[in-house]
């Protein structure tokens, strides 16, 4: 529980905003991790740029209260429109390739 509070303060020091924090629950582990049979599970959602991930991973690894952690990449709301733009660009490229093929085959 203390580890999650420290994580939130670390993120705030870096100028990042915590979006959600789910209730911390105690879990029985399927197998011992560092001789522990039970652990607390925290789920915290925040935005963090990929360029700063090494610093975050270092912080989480060096924190002795954290047995394991999982960082997941979340697709933002902007992504679908960006994907559509990318598809349009790729369609244009396909037409260009087709035109080039026709020109080569016609020669």
Tokens of 64: 């002795």
Q: What local confidence, expressed as pLDDT, does residue 38 receive?
A: 92
- 79 pLDDT band, cuts 50/70/90, is low
Q: What local confidence, expressed as pLDDT, does residue 31 receive?
A: 92
Q: What CATH number corresponds to the domain at position 39?
A: 3.30.70.60
Domain interval for residue 6: 1-74
Tokens of 97: 């390739």
Give yes or no: residues 87 and 69 share one domain.
no
What's the mean pLDDT in 28-49? 89
Give yes or no: residues 30 and 15 share one domain.
yes
Q: What local confidence, expressed as pLDDT, does residue 28 receive?
A: 94
Specify the higher pLDDT residue, 96 or 46. 46
Q: How far apart are CA 89 and CA 81, in angstroms?
A: 13
Q: Please say if the pLDDT value at position 82 is more than 80.
A: no
Give yes or no: residues 44 and 57 share one domain.
yes
Specify the higher pLDDT residue, 55 or 81. 55
SS3 of the chain: CHHHHHHHHHHHHCCCCEEEECCCEEEEEEEEECCEEEEEECCEEECCCHHHHHHHHHHHHHCCCCCCCCCCCCCCCCHHHHHHHHHHHHHHHHHHHHHHHHHHHHC
């Amino acid at each position: 529980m203390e580890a999650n509070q420290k994580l939130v303060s670390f993120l705030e020091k870096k100028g990042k905003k915590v979006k959600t924090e789910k209730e911390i629950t105690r879990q029985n582990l399927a197998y011992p991790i560092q001789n522990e049979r039970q652990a607390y599970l925290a789920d915290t959602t925040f935005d963090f740029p990929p360029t700063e991930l090494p610093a975050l991973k270092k912080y989480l690894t060096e924190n002795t209260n954290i047995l394991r952690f999982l960082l997941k990449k979340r697709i933002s709301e902007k992504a679908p429109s960006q994907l559509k733009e990318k598809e349009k660009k790729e369609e244009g490229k396909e037409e260009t390739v087709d035109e080039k093929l026709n020109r080569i085959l016609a020669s």
